[in-house]
Amino acid sequence: MGPNDNPSIHNIDLSDLLLFGIPKKGRLNEQVMTLLAGADIKFHRKNRIDIALSTNHPIALVFLPAADIPQFVADGNVDIGITGQDMVAEAGVNVEELMSLGFGKCRLCVQTPVDSPYRSAKDLVGKRIATSFTSLVREYFKALDVQVAKEAGLTTIEKSTIVQFLSGSVEASCALGLADGIVDLVESGETMHAAKLHAIETVLTTEAVLICNPTKHINNPLIEKIRRRIEGVITAQRFVLCTYNVPRTKLANAIKITPGKKSPSISSLDTDGWVAVSVMVLKSKSADVMDELAEIGAQDILITEIKNARMN
Ligand SMILES: Nc1ncnc2c1ncn2[C@@H]1O[C@H](COP(=O)(O)OP(=O)(O)OP(=O)(O)O)[C@@H](O)[C@H]1O
Ligand SMILES: O=P(O)(O)OC[C@H]1O[C@H](OP(=O)(O)OP(=O)(O)O)[C@H](O)[C@@H]1O
């Protein structure tokens, strides 16, 4: 019986509520909390209780380990959730990816000690690998085991690669003599370099995603409402509003610099031959855009933060 069939957990009535799986701790937790606040999904969480009712939507937030969220969503124990694409791939379950969220970006990499002879994943065939992603890594090395045997003209695998599960501190396992290589997440590379490891291959790239049970999305307006709100927050985080005045003769050049998400809004100015332009630009490009606009003769160029956005 899943929470959906169970009217009450911790004396909280869950019937008729949309259940939303949220990473309870770790790397994704803080950014998901910011996302919920931006989407105006308010809730009250009692101390140490992993289910919190939203105070302004018919939603219950269920705080779960990021690794468990894909299974909960696939089995319908929660309706939607946020986790990493790596977790979805590792769980190997059928969920619908509603949108990627632009944070939690990293790579799952095969890593070896910098002073070891292992320079490619193939060099680790038949050796010992430590990882928290045993399902993905077994699949990855099984294919390599077969490939290496074939290349050697063998019909059977001589010695399969051994994949050992570790729940954390995976980067320490080579130095401790537990493994010859590891497969772990890399973002800045700080953890890897501190452990005197280097990445020799990328198994997958990942970021945080909003996922949904495939049978729950259709005909559920609340899921669509949440998706749109989250999309609005993410758009607002990625874009800024750029406004400027430009001579009408330069407008075509200006539009090339700032084409906007769809097209810029243009209005006439009292000053003859000038127009005012208002357009969204990528935050990461805004300084370059300002330089380019100034070069073609635009004036009064302003960049304004966007608090929220709803695009079609
Ligand atoms: N260094 C990182 N940079 C960006 N995203 C990361 C990083 N490490 C992990 N992630 C993402 O966050 C997800 C959760 O990772 P995390 O290490 O927080 O796991 P956890 O098991 O939930 O927490 P904990 O390690 O505290 O038990 C990962 O599956 C990945 O998608
Ligand atoms: O390349 P970096 O920026 O150093 O990030 C990579 C590290 O981040 C994650 O661990 P985290 O710090 O979340 O802790 P954990 O080992 O307890 O999961 C991951 O497991 C790596 O160890």
Give the residue, out of 169, 187, 197, 205, with the most ligand 2 atoms within 8 A of its beta carbon, to mutate for a pocket test. Answer: 187
Among the ranges given (59-68, 145-154, 298-307), the one the predictor scored with the smallest mean pLDDT:
145-154
Q: What is the pLDDT of residue 46?
A: 82
Same domain, 94 and 144: no
Ligand 1 atom 18, closest CA: 26
Same domain, 131 and 69: no
Give the residue, out of 133, 186, 188, 204, with the most ligand 2 atoms within 8 A of its beta carbon, to mutate for a pocket test. Answer: 186
225 within domain boundaries: no
**Single-letter amino acid, residue 58:** P
Same domain, 74 and 212: yes
In this prediction the ipTM stands at 0.95
130 within domain boundaries: yes
Phi/psi at 46 (nearest 5 deg)?
-75, 150
Ligand 1 atom 1, closest CA: 187
Confirm or reject: Cβ of 168 under 6 Å from ligand 2: yes
124 within domain boundaries: yes
Work out the pLDDT band at 312, boundaries 50, 70, 90: low
Same domain, 149 and 161: yes
**For residue 299, what are the contacts with CB-CB under 8 A and spacing of at least 6?**
244, 245, 246
Same domain, 111 and 98: no
Q: Taking a C-beta distance cutoff of 8 angstroms, is the pair 54, 22 a contact? A: no
Same domain, 135 and 17: no
**Single-letter amino acid, residue 234:** I
174-210: per-residue pLDDT in tens? 999 999 999 999 999 999 999 999 999 999 999 999 9
Q: What is the pLDDT of residue 82?
A: 98
Q: How many structural domains compose the chain?
A: 3
CB-defined site of ligand 1, < 6 Å: 23, 25-28, 65-67, 84, 86-87, 104-106, 168, 185, 187, 206
Same domain, 94 and 112: no
- Tell me which residue range forms the domain holding 89: 3-104+208-219
- Give the mean pLDDT of 85-104: 97
Confirm or reject: Cβ of 191 under 6 Å from ligand 2: yes
- Give the mean pLDDT of 120-134: 97
Same domain, 77 and 212: yes
Confirm or reject: Cβ of 189 under 6 Å from ligand 2: yes
Question: pLDDT at residue 70 above 90?
Answer: yes
Three-state DSSP state, 246 = strand
310 within domain boundaries: no
The crossing angle, in degrees rounded to 10, of helices 221-238 and 29-38 is 100
Dist. CA 87 → ligand 1 center (Å): 9
Phi-psi region of 40 (alpha: psi -120 to 50; beta: other; left: phi over 0): left
183 within domain boundaries: yes
226 within domain boundaries: no
243 within domain boundaries: yes
Question: pLDDT at residue 9 above 70?
Answer: no
- Give the mean pLDDT of 95-104: 96
- Helix residue spans in 152-220 (DSSP H): 190-194
- Helix residue spans in the chain (DSSP H): 29-38, 69-74, 85-91, 134-151, 190-194, 221-238, 251-257, 286-295
Same domain, 154 and 176: yes
Same domain, 135 and 87: no
User: Can you give the CATH number for the domain in which 249 is found?
Assistant: 3.30.70.120
- Give the mean pLDDT of 115-136: 97
Work out the pLDDT band at 1, boundaries 50, 70, 90: very low
224 within domain boundaries: no
Same domain, 75 and 131: no
Q: Taking a C-beta distance cutoff of 8 angstroms, is the pair 183, 203 a contact? A: yes
- Give the mean pLDDT of 275-291: 96
Same domain, 24 and 57: yes
Question: pLDDT at residue 129 above 50?
Answer: yes
User: Can you give the CATH number for the domain in which 185 is found?
Assistant: 3.40.190.10
Three-class secondary structure assignment of 70-127: HHHHHCCCCCEEEEEHHHHHHHCCCCEEEEECCCCCEEEEEEEECCCCCCCHHHHCCC
